[in-house]
Amino acid sequence: MLTMTPPVTIKDIQEASQLIHKVGRVTPLIQSMFLSRTVTHGDVYLKLENMQLTGSFKFRGAYNKIHHLTDSEKQRGVITASAGNHAQGVALTAHLLGINATVVMPETAPLAKQQATSGYGARVILAGQTFDEARAFMEKKATTDGLTIVDPYNDPLVIAGQGSIGLELLTQLPTIDTVIVPVGGGGLISGIAVALKHAHPQIHIIGVQSENVHGMTASLQAGHLTRQCAGSTLADGTAVAMPGNITFGLASDLVDEMVLVSEEEIAEAMKDLLQRAKTVAKGAGALPTAALEAHKIAAKWLTDKKVVALVSGGNVDLERVAQNIEHFFDHDPTGHFVG
């Protein structure tokens, strides 16, 4: 547990939760019979953050952060860098609060995500080929134009907003044993961990990342912030080469383990969530399911346990869904999904 005053407390999360629930949704928690009976022999529940406003948990942190800005900061306008989900959360929040928003996205950002972000009223600027390059451009523009930065993950108010999910889980399933969370920069798992560990320190919290990009896992293994990126990933929403110092500190204290999954395992999980759970999940949102299906988690945390797998978002491009379906058709000569 934390040995000094943490940057995010349970009080911060409780206040964020009250604020967010005035406009946001309490997302469903549904049991997956497929994952429960066939894969884990436990009771597995899916927390459907793909049904949150903007289709992602990111709305929570963005709303909490922007709402707490000073009048002067709001008047200057806000800016962020994002590949899509945080962008839409910032854009919708700015629209709801009457604030000008600028979003810097990588030039590789899918057109659908660019259009969704601009559709909420934000100004979209494309810069760089990667999130890190877009972020660097955003930081320079914030300084030049005097804009207020809304960090995607390394901010206590953003983390507290994401932590509101943990409070919902404690209400929806008070007897949780294990929670499995996608990890990019670490804001989501940090906030959830603060909320859950405060209530029940014995809850086992597992983070999941792609084998291709897993900056948080590499940093936790090294004991200090370090960069890791071996290529692109279907889980583009978690493609963060190095986490923030705040999220790294919280994860070091509160996250019990990290596991990695392959691109094929992510694609398989996306397909199974669509086919078996009737749930559209982007690559990042499918990471926990991928870890379960690939048996990357020890049975002692699953068998006869109450397990929550977070589906963090559903903003996946239709073209990518079609490619995924075609891939699995190609691997099944009968023309049916391999189930």
Q: Which residues are catalytic?
A: 58, 312
Rounded Cα distance between 291 and 44, Å, is 13
Query: Which residue's structure tokens are 């399933």?
Result: 173
Q: Taking Cα atoms as reference points, which of 315, 293, 314 lies closest to residue 302?
A: 293
Per the CB < 8 A criterion, the answer to whether 53 and 88 are in contact is no
With residue 322 as reference, give the H or E element that holds it: helix 318-330
Q: How far is CA 245 from CA 108, 143, 215, 222, 226, in A?
A: 27, 21, 12, 14, 10
Q: Taking Cα atoms as reference points, which of 217, 283, 90, 65 lies closest to residue 154?
A: 65
Identify any residues that bridge with 206 across adjacent strands, giving them in sequence order: 180, 257
The DSSP 8-state label assigned to residue 34 in this structure reads I
The total of other beta-carbon atoms located within 10 Å of residue 243's CB is 30
Q: Taking Cα atoms as reference points, which of 155, 146, 128 lies closest to residue 61?
A: 155
Sheet architecture: strand order including 123-126 = 123-126, 101-105, 78-81, 148-149
3, with CB counted inside 10 A (0-12, 13-18, 19+), is exposed
The total of other beta-carbon atoms located within 10 Å of residue 72's CB is 8
